[in-house]
Amino acid sequence: MEGTTFEEVWQDVISVQPEPPTWLVVGTGICALLVVLTRDPWRIARNVVTIAHEGGHAVVALLSGRQLTGIRLHSDTSGVTVSRGKPTGIGMILTVFAGYVTPSLVGLAGILLLLGDRITAMLWISILVLATMLLLIRNVYGVVSVVGTGTVIFLVSWFTPAAVQAGFAYLFTWFMLFAGMRPVIELQSQRRQQPSPQSDADQLDRLTGMPGTAWVMIFFLLNASVLVLGGWLLLF
């Protein structure tokens, strides 16, 4: 980023960047898929998915009129968002439902900015969202995770040329699209091996009477649909 004054920085953020070559879009998609499919890279990158997951719970809780108490992110890539309000009803249902679909929706939102070649704007919006979420974090690991993620995005947006920013932005977007699928598959596997009444699917079971497995299928189908739509938008 070349700006030194606020006006110059703002112009850099809202400016339109050159459309990246097709090979970069395809290449970053392949790299993102490999990250999701391989054990160690996924173990690290999954923290970003957890941030999005818990952020989804938090946003919907606030929109539905619930009082948000805080968010905790854990080193095993799990997390919890605590809110106060009516324990049943549509607000609670939507709050619980939001977690597993938010990563995919974040990827879709990123695509809308990328299609307008607003690459730097996408990165800075991500930083602002993370900064806002930081105010709600209630444990040390959560703070480290959010600050670390935001720092990486800031360094890329401030110190790297447009081509590197584009590669990072497309890699992140592809990753969120693909990453929306794996936690849903892991959820069902965990439910079979070690049933937990606290999983989102089982909470929805108690709230609605619809079996938890049916909710897992809904998560899967919605995220798969977003992945197909997102891939089509990015490639065609």
- Tell me the per-residue pLDDT of 23-39, one tens digit each, with 9 for 90 and over: 999 999 999 999 999 99
**Inside any domain, residue 9:** no
Residues 6+ apart with CB under 8 A from 224: 181
Predicted TM-score (pTM) of this structure = 0.94
pLDDT of residue 2: 58
Structure tokens at 82: 């605590």
Structure tokens at 64: 């539905």
**Inside any domain, residue 184:** yes
**Inside any domain, residue 99:** yes
Overall domain count for the chain: 1
pLDDT of residue 4: 63
**Inside any domain, residue 11:** no
Alpha helices (H) along the chain? 6-14, 22-37, 39-63, 90-115, 119-134, 140-159, 162-179, 182-193, 200-208, 212-235
Q: How many CA atoms lie within 13 A of 112 on its CB side?
A: 8
pLDDT digits (tens, 9 = 90+) for 120-136: 999 999 999 999 999 99
Q: Which amino acid is at 78?
A: S
pLDDT digits (tens, 9 = 90+) for 180-208: 999 999 999 999 988 788 899 999 999 99
Containing structural domain, residue 56: 23-235
**Inside any domain, residue 170:** yes
Cα→Cα distances 118→9, 14, 39, 64, Å: 14, 7, 32, 30
**Inside any domain, residue 10:** no
**Inside any domain, residue 100:** yes
pLDDT digits (tens, 9 = 90+) for 151-171: 999 999 999 999 999 999 999
Q: Are 133 and 81 in contact (CB under 8 A)?
A: no
**What is the arithmetic mean of pLDDT over 113-117?**
92
- What residues does 81 pair with on adjacent strands? 71
**Inside any domain, residue 131:** yes
pLDDT digits (tens, 9 = 90+) for 219-230: 999 999 999 999
